[in-house]
């Protein structure tokens, strides 16, 4: 199937160049150089055309960039530009990378050229729902899926009623990348933090969960309209390694979420394997290609290939696939390239 994709003009659309590089490396390992529609930026990635066929830049402000600390977006101008780029470059399939480009695809789908093939992605409604950690926690309760004891703190008075033993962890409801996450061993420490942060909990409520010492497990899934097409799971190890495993109990829960929510596209479950009782507790879901996509490719599951084939309407030609148990890390060359990209690429505005 890779031969089919080699004959196609593939377009990556992105507002996050650093996140996109992992996807680009996978395509390069498939002997594919894609087109890229991305922001004006200075980066090592853009100075080396060895990675891509053509880079088409846009000005974020002219695309109606609407910043949000949760999910940013572009206006319909981005969709009109996408139509133009696909037409001028005879693009066969489009692969969206991050929320900022996914949101306008859903919001302005009526403006999108009907001849454009796009890899599966979530609707705005489902994206916003699952991105909210309190919504996700309630969904886990509804589906009877294990998670740490969880409460919503939306007013200071609720602290006196808190029924979770310490240590606890607090999280903003809809921020990513570890932003705003803190662990507290004692209640007084939490109170001091809230006093110093001067948060208005009625406007920016926090999620409070029982902190569970243990190991982090990730489960990468790819689905089309609620049908699980591929999965792989791994424990996070030291020094950038991942230990890939198969745990049927965990996959049963993942498949239930995918099916019940009619999930569409790539996604990653963050799960805590508690040291005390070896239980698996669902924390949240990353609703796009994660930064660890290259690890899963190295372990034997090519989610980029699957996404592109699904965009071309060819996913049914694939049988279900899962990775073998193994331990993987990045090659020295990939590690070197990623460090350069990280140092030379500006922070995304997503």
Give the residue among 118, 270, 294, 123 at the shortest CA–CA distance from 209. Answer: 270
Judge whether 342 lies within some domain.
no
Evaluate whether residue 138 is within a structural domain. Answer: no
> What's 192's domain CATH number?
3.30.1490.20
> Alpha-carbon distance 283 to 278, whole Å?
15
| Angstrom distance (rounded) from CA 333 to CA 260 | 41
Do 47 and 95 fall within a single domain? Answer: yes
Coil/strand/helix, residue 318: coil
> How far is it, in rounded angstroms, from Cα 171 to Cα 260?
25
Read out DSSP for 203-224?
Answer: TS-EEEEE---EEEEEEEEEEE
Most confident of 15-19, 182-186, 267-271, 311-315: 267-271
Are 175 and 276 members of one domain? no
Quick check: is 247 in a domain? Answer: yes
324 — pLDDT class (breaks 50, 70, 90)? low
CA distance 263 to 241: 28
pLDDT digits (tens, 9 = 90+) for 52-70: 999 999 999 999 999 887 7
Check: CB of residue 153 under 8 Å from CB of residue 197. Answer: no
Considering the domain architecture, whether residues 21 and 93 belong to the same structural domain is answered as yes
Residues 240 and 154 in one domain: no
pLDDT at 350: 44
Kindly state the tokens that stand for 226: 């609620």
Q: Is the pLDDT of residue 101 over 50?
A: yes
Over 60: is that where the pLDDT of 338 sits?
yes
330 pLDDT band (50/70/90 cuts)?
confident
Q: Is the dihedral of CA 167, 172, 173, 178 positive or negative?
A: negative
Contacts of 115 (CB under 8 A, 6+ apart): none
Task: Give the pLDDT confidence score for residue 106 in this predicted structure.
Answer: 93
Co-location of 17 and 69 in the same domain = yes
pLDDT at 294: 92
Cis preceding linkage at 164, omega within 30: no
Sign of CA pseudo-dihedral 307, 311, 312, 316: positive
Encoded tokens for 201: 């909990």
Whether residue 285 sits in one domain with residue 196: no
Residue 274's CB: how many other CB atoms inside 10 A?
A: 16
pLDDT of residue 317: 55
In-domain check, residue 124: no
Nearest-angstrom CA–CA distance, 174 and 134: 9
Q: 202 and 226 share a domain? A: no
Q: Is the pLDDT of residue 128 over 80?
A: yes
Average the pLDDT over each of 40-44, 154-158, 204-208 and give the range with the smallest value: 40-44
| Structural domains counted in the chain | 3
Say if 256 falls within a structural domain: yes
Q: Across the chain, what does the average pLDDT equal? A: 89
**8 Å CB contact between 222 and 239:** no
Among 89-93, 102-106, 109-113, 201-205, the range scoring the smallest mean pLDDT is: 201-205
Q: What per-residue confidence (pLDDT) applies to 178?
A: 58
Q: Answer yes or no: do 99 and 203 share one domain.
A: no
- Ranges of H-type helices in the chain: 2-6, 17-29, 44-47, 76-88, 99-107, 124-131, 133-142, 187-197, 248-260, 293-298, 303-311, 332-344
Residue 45 has pLDDT above 70, yes or no: no
On whether the CB atoms of residues 145 and 257 are closer than 8 A, the answer is yes
Name the residue among 34, 32, 25 with its Cα closest to residue 1: 32
Local confidence band at 49 (pLDDT 50, 70, 90 cut-offs): confident
Q: Annotate 137-164 with b (16+ C-beta within 10 A) or e (fewer).
A: bebbeeeebebbebbbbbeeeeeeeeee
Residues 221 and 312 in one domain: yes
* Assigned domain for 175 exists: yes
Sort 344 into a burial class: Cβ within 10 Å, 0-12 / 13-18 / 19+. middle
* One domain for residues 258 and 190: no
Could you give the count of Cα atoms lying within 13 Å of 142 in the half-sphere of its Cβ? 10
Q: Output the pLDDT for position 165.
A: 92
Could you tell me the CATH number of the domain that includes residue 279? 3.30.470.20
Q: Which pLDDT value is given to residue 201?
A: 85
Query: In this predicted structure, what is the pLDDT of residue 169?
Result: 95
Nearest to 55, CA basis, from 28, 29, 89 = 89
Range of the structural domain that residue 104 is part of: 2-119
What pLDDT is attached to residue 322? Answer: 62
Q: What is the CATH number of the domain that holds 20?
A: 3.40.50.720
Q: Are residues 205 and 222 in the same domain?
A: no
Does residue 72 sit in the same domain as residue 163? no
CB atoms within 10 A of CB 131: 21
Cβ neighbours of 331 (radius 10 Å): 12
| In a domain? residue 126 | no
Residue 22 belongs to a domain: yes
């Amino acid at each position: 199937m890779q031969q089919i994709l080699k004959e196609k003009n593939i377009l990556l659309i992105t507002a996050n160049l650093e996140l996109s590089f992992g996807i680009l490396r996978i395509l390069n390992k498939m002997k594919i150089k894609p087109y890229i529609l991305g922001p004006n930026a200075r980066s090592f990635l853009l100075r080396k055309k060895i990675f891509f066929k053509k880079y088409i830049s846009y000005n974020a402000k002219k695309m109606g960039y609407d910043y949000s600390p949760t999910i940013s977006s572009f206006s319909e101008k981005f969709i009109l530009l996408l139509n133009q780029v696909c037409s001028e470059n005879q693009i066969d399939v489009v692969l969206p990378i991050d929320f900022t480009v996914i949101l306008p695809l859903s919001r302005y789908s009526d403006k999108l050229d009907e001849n454009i093939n796009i890899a599966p992605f979530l609707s705005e409604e489902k994206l916003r729902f699952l991105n909210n950690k309190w919504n996700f926690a309630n969904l886990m309760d509804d589906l009877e899926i294990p998670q740490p004891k969880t409460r919503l703190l939306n007013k200071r008075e609720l602290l006196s009623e808190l029924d979770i033993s310490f240590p606890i962890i607090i999280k903003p409801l809809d921020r990513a990348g570890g932003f705003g996450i803190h662990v507290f061993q004692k209640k007084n420490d939490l109170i001091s933090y809230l006093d110093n942060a001067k948060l208005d909990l009625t406007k920016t409520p926090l999620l409070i969960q029982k902190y569970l010492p243990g190991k982090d497990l990730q489960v990468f899934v790819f689905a089309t309209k609620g049908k699980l097409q591929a999965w792989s799971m791994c424990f996070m190890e030291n020094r950038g390694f991942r230990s890939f495993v198969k745990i049927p109990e965990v996959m049963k829960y993942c498949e239930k979420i995918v099916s019940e929510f009619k999930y569409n596209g790539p996604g990653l479950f963050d799960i805590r394997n508690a040291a005390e009782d070896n239980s698996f507790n669902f924390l949240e879901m990353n609703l796009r290609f994660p930064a660890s996509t290259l690890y899963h490719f190295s372990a034997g599951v090519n989610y980029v290939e699957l996404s592109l084939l699904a965009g071309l309407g060819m996913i049914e030609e694939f049988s279900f696939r899962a990775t073998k148990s193994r331990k993987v890390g990045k090659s020295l060359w990939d590690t070197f390239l990623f460090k350069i990209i990280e140092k030379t690429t500006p922070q995304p505005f997503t």
